Structure 1
Amino acid sequence: MGGDSDDRVCYVISDLHIGGDEQLEEIDFLDELLAFLGRLEDTDENAELVINGDAFGLWEFTQVEGLRKFDVLAETYPELFDQLRATGEQVDITLLPGNHDHELAAYEEYVERFAEYNVELVQAESLTRAVGDHVVHFEHGHQHDPNNRISEWGDPNSTPLGYYYNTLVTSRAGQLSDRGRYNWLKDVQAVTPTERMPVWLLSKYFYREMNPLLRYALLPFLLLFNVSAVLAVVAGLDILGVWTTPVTVTTAFLAQFGAAGTAVWFLLAVNVAITGLLLLVGIPLYLLRRDIRKTIDRFGVFETDLTVDAEAPYEDAAREIFAEKPRTSVYCYGHTHRPTMQSVDGGLLVNTGTWLKRLHRRDGLIGVLPPVFYPSYQLCAVRIAEAPDGLAVEYEPIQKPSPSPEELTLTERLLTLGRKPDTELPDRRVVGDEGRDVAPESEPEYAR
């Protein structure tokens, strides 16, 4: 282990979110993670594995406290900890706390516990590594998220808004998930941003929990809502005698098809009647809501900004690091669960994604059906190594079958035909030596 930085290869993963109350203890990617660690155990490279935050879901443990959480993790996942010990005998494994496992920075005993499994826990907000003539900056990224920023690093009592969400909502979901028709509530951790939670719950209720007879009875009405809204207006014009032609022509046309035409006419009539009533009630309610919203905005009451920009704060942070430390060529973070890579001021801004399931919102093309949250996996490790033309950064995909065939109902699959999410990872990029000033600079003690 160790070795010269000139031939160092860094592998980076983040946001595993391992552990939590009841159903949250299930790891869908355990086999893939064990295989990845096993491959590193057999590598001939001078490799280091950096686990860049949120390896564990300590916030999601509400029935045990303190160091007892480590004991529960080791007892629940013996294969994982055994493999960490075996891999750590061959390559360096460095663990950096995130927001969900910030407690790792709060107790010195955690350093000793992880050392028993050949994992070096760095109780800092960030760390750096020299790779060839370049330096890579690692941090989880939650310090740039106002909802999850730890105001006093290392203080176990520092609890941002995200802490309460996860202890009150996420952990409770883990306790209740197996009570549903399907065990779907445990996927609450994959819902990002968290403001989508109400819509996600509505979607899963409609497609998973609702009585099938009721759902299929509502489908025609919801699918035809937009058409029915237009027909309701036309019907109103017919009743007022302003414009009767469309109703007359439609009635005559459907009459040609006998019983089938009568059934269609009846279906349209019911939809038009219900839609008309909703429009009569909905329009004044919309105007009232709009006026109330304007009043609230005018007085500045209840103004909140829960949706955090997933890119801009990290671009700014990368620019600052690149300016202050010219040898730094890569700013590597996680937290947002979105594997992305972009150039910033001659360096690279790299997000390591997540090993959790990802949920991609797909809104309906017609009608007013709840959106479908299409599940996928984008398991990956980021590999950072010196190359002949500079510092190379590339995503190594970890193959795992799509969960969509089992987790989407027939209705959801039909509504998302041709609309599957793009799960391709970013292409390999190289930071050229000419793009950065490689003058020597002092490094913190946790850099090597």
Structure 2
Amino acid sequence: MTTDFSPCRYEIVMADDGDREPTYYVISDLHIGGDEQLEHVEFLEELIAFLEHLEGVDENAELIVNGDAFGLWEFTRIEGIEKFDALVESYPELFAQLRATGESVPITLLPGNHDHDLAAYEEYVERFAEYNVDLIQEESITRPIGGRTIHFEHGMQRDPNNRIEDFGNPYATPLGYYYNTLVTSRAGQLSDRGRYNWMKDVQAVTPTERMPVWLVSKYFYREMNPLLRYSIVPFLLLFNVSAVLAVLAGLDLAGIWSMPIERGTAFLGQFGTAGTALWWFLTVNVAVAGLLLLVGIPLYFIRRDLRKTIDRFGVFETELTVDPNEPYEDAAREVFEERPETAVFCYGHTHRPTMKEVGGGLLVNTGTWLKRLHRRDGIVGLLPPVFYPSFQLCAIRIGLEPGGDTVAVEYERIEKPNPATEELTLTERLLTVGREPDPELPDRAVVDAGIERRTVEQRHEG
């Protein structure tokens, strides 16, 4: 479809839209760009299609990209505005579509932590303007909705590991910067050396403390010699069976329940010498499994007690882990209290789609367009967990309900095929049968739009 986006038509549309209440579409955490394998964007086709769709919406719409649109931290071989040139060169179709969409729908871009360079160099504002993208070099912005407002921020300032203490300083380097330049970018440079190009997905591993477990999992299921892996699996299966038999043998010796052992012995006795050999083989395995269980039980309780003690002191939470909800709930309550006209606190950063009522307003997280990895323990014990991949591509739509009494917030899903079939080995799929994740986006929610517009205007004037 051909559409006329001449300057004359643009002025007419804007004049007409001035009489209509605005509608906002919000996306974040695309993380586009980076060294070598990180350059590949798995959702590029869906993103361009979404931008094309926005061109034709019959609304007074604005697209807000709420931080981390680009992975500028993941470029380690070029600096400053050169990263913009690299992006345009790598994704010409995307930038062409941004220019086309921006002719009919305003596009506002906020910096995140991964693309903090956008706040540090004035040249980015001019270069993005060439593609009809309005880069705002601020930590947060607000937008009107009915008689209320929406607060937008990326959210890294609530995360001590990624907080930019001197926002706009090109030399600001929080802890997360070093993780991305030393780990994420390095993974992008090495990813194609593996049996399968999987290391580039390290940027989808959240929280980052799971990265060592994820590496062990991918080594076992992807890099380990297949003959070695398939020879280990039967032994681990046998250990699980022996552990069950050890429990049953203990119940038999204690005189609590003898039926399983008696029937098993009678069944194996039907096979003569072969049955006797199998009986002795299982007996040795049961003895070994029993000893390991005896050692493992006290170790389990010691480990659990140690973890409780660590949790009570908050060591891991304050040093390594950032709660994905609490800092943002506290921040939202503070904003709602200080500026009661605020209806929605919208943020990104944590990659977790969230919708929650907090302090009389809505706390909304925009999720991510990156792949999401869901840890799943296998149906067989003593094997590394499986990190099941999925996509939750979405845009948040915020607009007034008919009648103007409420502000509606809803997730619009962008469909993308499940990548598990191509990315998981047969072993991983078999071990997680019945345990496949089924991630759902939050349900639609509404919040009162009843504060009079003049009250908001008076507050800003004061």
**TM-score of the aligned structures, taking structure 2 as reference length:** 0.86
Superposed, 1:100-115 pairs within 5 Å as 100-115=114-129
1:83 aligns with 2:97: yes
Q: Which residue of 32, 41, 44 maps to 1:18?
A: 32
1:259 and 1:115 mapped to 2: Cα distance? 84
Change in CA separation of 1:258 and 1:318 when aligned onto 2, cut-off 3 Å: farther
**Range that drifts further, 172-181 or 436-445:** 436-445
2:314 and 2:348 mapped to 1: Cα distance? 33
Q: Which residue in 1 is equivalent to 2:233?
A: 219
Q: Contact 1:40 / 1:87 at 8 angstroms: preserved in 2?
A: yes
Deviations 1:199-254 (A, max 9, x none): 1111111111112221121112323434434545788999xx999x8878745532
**Range that drifts further, 405-414 or 301-310:** 301-310
Change in CA separation of 1:267 and 1:36 when aligned onto 2, cut-off 3 Å: farther
1:189 and 1:9 mapped to 2: Cα distance? 31
Q: Which residue in 2 is equivalent to 1:401?
A: 417
**Range that drifts further, 422-431 or 341-350:** 422-431
Paired letter, 2:352: R
Q: Which residue in 1 is equivalent to 2:399?
A: 385
Once the two structures are TM-superposed, the CA of residue 180 in structure 1 deviates from its matched residue by: 0.9
Q: Which residue in 1 is equivalent to 2:5?
A: none
Once the two structures are TM-superposed, the CA of residue 372 in structure 1 deviates from its matched residue by: 1.0
1:375 aligns with 2:410: no
1:84 and 1:267 mapped to 2: Cα distance? 68
Which SS does the other structure have where 1:440 is aligned?
A: helix
Change in CA separation of 1:268 and 1:33 when aligned onto 2, cut-off 3 Å: farther
Superposed, 1:149-228 pairs within 5 Å as 149-228=163-242
Paired letter, 1:432: D
Paired letter, 1:375: P
Which SS does the other structure have where 2:332 is aligned?
A: helix
Q: Contact 1:5 / 1:132 at 8 angstroms: preserved in 2?
A: no
1:41 aligns with 2:55: yes
Q: Which residue in 1 is equivalent to 2:131?
A: 117
Change in CA separation of 1:363 and 1:5 when aligned onto 2, cut-off 3 Å: farther
Q: Which residue of 348, 354, 364 maps to 1:334?
A: 348
Q: Which residue in 2 is equivalent to 1:96?
A: 110
Q: Contact 2:147 / 2:456 at 8 angstroms: preserved in 1?
A: no
1:318 aligns with 2:332: yes
1:415 aligns with 2:431: yes
Paired letter, 1:44: D
Once the two structures are TM-superposed, the CA of residue 408 in structure 1 deviates from its matched residue by: 1.3
Q: Contact 2:242 / 2:282 at 8 angstroms: preserved in 1?
A: yes
Change in CA separation of 1:342 and 1:208 when aligned onto 2, cut-off 3 Å: same
Paired letter, 2:137: Q
2:446 and 2:112 mapped to 1: Cα distance? 27
Once the two structures are TM-superposed, the CA of residue 179 in structure 1 deviates from its matched residue by: 0.9
Change in CA separation of 1:44 and 1:247 when aligned onto 2, cut-off 3 Å: closer
1:136 and 1:313 mapped to 2: Cα distance? 18
Paired letter, 2:431: L
Change in CA separation of 1:255 and 1:427 when aligned onto 2, cut-off 3 Å: same
Q: Contact 1:325 / 1:441 at 8 angstroms: preserved in 2?
A: no
Q: Which residue in 2 is equivalent to 1:138?
A: 152
1:300 and 1:56 mapped to 2: Cα distance? 33
What is the number of equivalent residue pairs in this alignment? 442
Once the two structures are TM-superposed, the CA of residue 132 in structure 1 deviates from its matched residue by: 2.0
Which SS does the other structure have where 1:321 is aligned?
A: helix
Change in CA separation of 1:90 and 1:287 when aligned onto 2, cut-off 3 Å: closer
Change in CA separation of 1:46 and 1:209 when aligned onto 2, cut-off 3 Å: same
Q: Which residue in 2 is equivalent to 1:53?
A: 67
Once the two structures are TM-superposed, the CA of residue 277 in structure 1 deviates from its matched residue by: 7.2
Q: Which residue in 1 is equivalent to 2:44?
A: 30
1:396 and 1:363 mapped to 2: Cα distance? 31
Q: Unmatched 5+ residue regions in structure 1?
A: none
Which SS does the other structure have where 2:64 is aligned?
A: strand
Which SS does the other structure have where 1:84 is aligned?
A: helix
**TM-score of the aligned structures, taking structure 1 as reference length:** 0.88
Q: Which residue in 1 is equivalent to 2:140?
A: 126
Q: Contact 2:380 / 2:431 at 8 angstroms: preserved in 1?
A: no
**Range that drifts further, 253-262 or 84-93:** 253-262
Q: Contact 2:24 / 2:397 at 8 angstroms: preserved in 1?
A: yes
Q: Which residue of 423, 433, 445 maps to 2:449?
A: 433
Paired letter, 1:137: H
2:316 and 2:25 mapped to 1: Cα distance? 44
Runs of 4 or more above 3 Å deviation: 1-6, 223-227, 229-238, 245-253, 257-304, 441-445
Paired letter, 2:419: P
Q: Contact 1:6 / 1:386 at 8 angstroms: preserved in 2?
A: no
Which SS does the other structure have where 2:25 is aligned?
A: strand
Q: Unmatched 5+ residue regions in structure 2?
A: 1-9
Once the two structures are TM-superposed, the CA of residue 421 in structure 1 deviates from its matched residue by: 1.6
Once the two structures are TM-superposed, the CA of residue 303 in structure 1 deviates from its matched residue by: 9.0
Once the two structures are TM-superposed, the CA of residue 281 in structure 1 deviates from its matched residue by: 7.7
1:340 and 1:10 mapped to 2: Cα distance? 17
Deviations 1:408-441 (A, max 9, x none): 112221222222222221121111234x576225
1:302 and 1:349 mapped to 2: Cα distance? 26
Once the two structures are TM-superposed, the CA of residue 280 in structure 1 deviates from its matched residue by: 8.1
Q: Contact 1:327 / 1:441 at 8 angstroms: preserved in 2?
A: no
Change in CA separation of 1:121 and 1:412 when aligned onto 2, cut-off 3 Å: same
